[in-house]
């Protein structure tokens, strides 16, 4: 059974399963707890009705501690496991795993917003991002893919099939700051077969002044209004 108490003693496994170091997790936890208490007050039930019994009465949940709630959510977001797998890891039922995901995801989003680290979703809004200390900013644009269940519909199968990963995926384009690796922008979700350049073009991204943009071959021909673009070159075969 995965718990914060056991996993926090294994720093490498903790990072692999959550995407955060222990220090980063502990920085996020207070904001998560504050947002959870604001979203689900103790004098109200999960559905928002006045509570008839004293808080804490009844059977205690496996995810009764805020550390385990946040861990549960981060493991799902990092590994994108099936809910039945998630249920086995945390020793809960599949229906409970589904309930907790819907219960906790809005809390994490609000907590990240309170901390000011929630990625921009409006491409034009990127132009409002402040420049670096020297008046310039170095950004990295890239496409990210995550596995999804294989669609039953043949047309959808073709749309979500990623030839590169030889699996079915959903795709987003992200912009990250090269200086601190913070994700500044997250695009809409597209089927895995969608070209990275097309997603960036449809997003209508506008960049801060004096931006240097690093990109890979998936953005070949993508030349937005920035100070400079840099694209890595593939090594020639046989060298």
Residue carrying structure tokens 């907590």: 111
Domains of the chain by residue range: 4-52+61-115, 123-231
Confidence (pLDDT) at 169: 92
Q: Sort residue 204 into left (φ over 0), alpha (ψ -120 to 50) or beta.
A: left
For the entire predicted model, the pTM comes to 0.78
Contact (CB, 8 A) for 173 and 196: yes
| Neighbouring C-alpha atoms within 13 Å toward the C-beta of 211 | 24
Cα–Cα distance for residue pair 23/90, rounded to 1 Å? 22
Judging by beta carbons within 10 Å of its beta carbon (0-12, 13-18, 19+), is residue 205 exposed, middle or buried?
A: buried
pLDDT digits (tens), the chain, 239 positions: 899 999 999 999 999 999 999 999 999 999 999 999 999 887 777 677 777 766 665 566 789 899 999 999 999 999 888 899 999 999 999 999 999 999 999 999 999 999 988 999 999 988 887 766 555 789 999 999 988 888 889 988 898 998 877 889 999 999 999 988 889 999 999 999 999 999 999 999 999 888 999 999 999 999 999 999 998 776 666 66
Element at 235 (helix H, strand E): none
Q: How far apart are CA 52 and CA 202, in angstroms?
A: 51
Instruction: Answer for the pair 7, 14: CB distance below 8 angstroms, yes or no.
Output: yes
Q: What confidence score (pLDDT) does residue 89 get?
A: 94
């Amino acid at each position: 059974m995965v718990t914060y108490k056991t996993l926090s003693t294994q720093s490498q496994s903790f990072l692999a399963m959550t995407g955060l170091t222990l220090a980063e997790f502990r920085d996020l936890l207070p904001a998560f707890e504050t947002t959870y208490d604001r979203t689900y007050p103790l004098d109200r039930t999960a559905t928002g009705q006045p509570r008839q019994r004293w808080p804490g009465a009844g059977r205690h949940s496996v995810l009764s501690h805020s550390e385990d709630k946040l861990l549960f959510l981060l493991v799902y977001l990092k590994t994108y496991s099936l809910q039945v797998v998630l249920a086995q890891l945390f020793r809960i039922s599949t229906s409970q795993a589904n309930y907790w995901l819907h219960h906790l995801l809005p809390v994490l989003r609000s907590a990240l917003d309170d901390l000011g680290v929630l990625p921009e979703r409006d491409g034009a809004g990127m132009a409002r991002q402040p420049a670096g200390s020297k008046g310039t900013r170095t950004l990295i644009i890239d496409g990210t893919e995550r596995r999804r269940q294989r669609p039953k519909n043949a047309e959808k199968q073709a749309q979500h099939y990623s030839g590169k990963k030889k699996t079915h995926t959903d795709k987003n384009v992200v912009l990250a700051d090269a200086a601190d690796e913070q994700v500044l922008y997250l695009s809409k979700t597209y089927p895995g077969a969608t070209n990275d350049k097309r997603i960036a073009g449809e997003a209508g991204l506008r960049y801060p002044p004096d931006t240097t943009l690093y990109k890979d071959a998936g953005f070949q021909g993508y030349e937005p209004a920035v100070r400079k673009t840099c694209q890595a070159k593939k090594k020639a075969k046989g060298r």
